[in-house]
Structure 1
């Protein structure tokens, strides 16, 4: 890579150089790296601190949830990774204090790990264990990860649950693209926390099943096999799931090449659908669809992670990631709430159903990707 290209990438925040290289350009680039108020440090801090004081959410309902919901899990995980990456011990302490009641009188809020949306909760105690070395968190998180690959049990078991289990997949497999974050997140975290390769190998095998079954020729994914629409956040779960998995998947894993191929194919396709504003849409390929923040955050995270790890060409994807981030933070208001977040969404074979979804403010589906991106920029 020549010096001109390096200086360009420095200016967009993708690489860092020794001071001796293009020193004058470097000083200018550092000063102009992020417009005021848009740096990952500033934005991540605001959104994380806002989460700390946010009561447990229940998909927009006024009543408290019976158990911790997956959007809260995702935001909690993001806030914890941001605290670790920035060395913010006070923030980390607050996030641990938020968890403490769940180890005591409020333990009924811990989701039963019998569905992907509940099992993902294990990612949070596993992150807390890695940061605190408190074995209470490890026991809880590892137990949840193990349950996901244990024998099928409970009222959610279906005939196909046994078929998947007998083939070495989790019995919670349901072939919705959302699953490829929910499943891979907790299993990748269990690997990071324990070093036991069985967890990451499980996740990789599962990811290949979904890629082989669901990825379309254009690199994107229908919401489900019977729903032929490229729903933004659904594809976002796949994008983040692949990036998070590849970040920790050993280079000698036999499934790594297949997953990388699926990931790069998706990123190349997403590049063509990014709007001039930097946003992606509620329905990715539908220009009549509205710009949506949760999927924009997820795709931006996947591209940042790809450039940082050298999987994606920095000169191509670095500007797209920066553009996505700057567009995304423009949707954050003075209360650190993200606007234009698609509400929780089931699958339906109806274009208008997706276009008419409620656009929420402060929905944790949208808060979480902000924190993931802020962490990824700083890695």
Structure 2
């Protein structure tokens, strides 16, 4: 009851205190500066995670990568050089004693790692970061190699796509993040152009008439975080994709179509659900964070009508942060999830506290609010 009362006070104050659609002037304790700092510091204090297992990971996992990238983005947007330096210090052992933890760029979940050194390069201008990140981005479109190569990998490669293509919606953040970062770091359009071509293939293959996405072609369910990866991936791509890119109109169309449906599916309290279109499913924080990030970015960039989407994004942010506990951990995060053609499978997924699938999008939102 106490939590509900606090939430209602924050929500009501936040809506009344601001002009309609504004994404500024948040109540004390709910500003992006305060929340971002708390969650980033929690990341710095956390060991390398291994999908909830008690043992250390064999390589850095993609949820950590996404959180690391989010923390660095927040540090840049907030001008916090001390935080940036602490995040860089966490990376230093990967050039030495912990080099074996650098993932091989042989799968989308591994290759996204390149987004972190590429962000460090943009902020610190040290060549070693660029060399590492660029090598990883290049190998994503290089010769198929490694344990994850399949017969279709060569087919995709011959079509000008990455050989790591697999048509899971998760890919459209993993691929987009590293390629967009390589473009931002180098100015070479080949990186962002090929990410855009890849995005169009995924849009044409997986987006449904209502604007949402199946988890995979053989899994007809609108899983929250899966759709979140797509929403965040389109946002990351579009905010750097040149206006003259021939694929931009198609991607923008897919993005706006998705945002319109998400607006309709948002719950009364501002959250989104584990199955986006299923009112019987539970409110889930990682997808809520990703959708919020996508809407904040759209409003800030002028792609979305501020009077319509600004209040929805604000309401979502103020709801999302009530799930952060005193340790800086966010609750109600869906555990790592494979695809399965079974509605109950998605509804029964474990709800975790502090999982980096949920920590990352909070940081993305904080950075986007400050850009």
Q: TM-score range by the shorter chain?
A: over 0.9
- Which residue does the alignment assign to 1:125? 117
- Which residue does the alignment assign to 2:103? 111
| 4+ residue runs over 4 A deviation | 7-10
Deviation at 1:13, TM superposition (A): 6.7
Whether the 8 Å CA contact 1:12–1:322 is kept in 2: the answer is: no
Q: Measure, in 2, the Cα distance between the counterparts of 1:321 and 1:156.
A: 38
Count residues in correspondence. 357
- Which residue does the alignment assign to 1:66? 58
- Which residue does the alignment assign to 1:143? 135
Whether the 8 Å CA contact 1:46–1:336 is kept in 2: the answer is: yes
Match status 1:99 vs 2:107: no
Question: What stretches of structure 2 of length at least 5 have no aligned partner?
Answer: 1-14
Instruction: Please list, as runs of the form range in 1=range in 2, the aligned pairs for 1:359-378 lying within 5 A after superposition.
Output: 359-378=351-370
- Which residue does the alignment assign to 2:332? 340
Q: Measure, in 2, the Cα distance between the counterparts of 1:150 and 1:293.
A: 36
Match status 1:14 vs 2:22: yes
- In structure 2, which of residues 276, 282, 294 is the aligned counterpart of residue 302 of structure 1? 294
Whether the 8 Å CA contact 2:21–2:311 is kept in 1: the answer is: no
Instruction: Please list, as runs of the form range in 1=range in 2, the aligned pairs for 1:1-379 lying within 5 A after superposition.
Output: 11=19, 14=22, 33-379=25-371
RCO comparison, higher one (Cα < 8 Å, 6+): 2
Deviation at 1:153, TM superposition (A): 1.1
Whether the 8 Å CA contact 1:9–1:315 is kept in 2: the answer is: no
3-state SS of paired residue (1:284): coil
Whether the 8 Å CA contact 1:9–1:314 is kept in 2: the answer is: no
Structural RMSD (CA): 1.3
Q: Measure, in 2, the Cα distance between the counterparts of 1:8 and 1:268.
A: 24
Q: Deviations over 1:66-119 (max 9, x none)?
A: 000000000000000100111101100100000000001110000000000000
Whether the 8 Å CA contact 2:59–2:100 is kept in 1: the answer is: yes
- Which residue does the alignment assign to 2:8? none
3-state SS of paired residue (1:329): helix
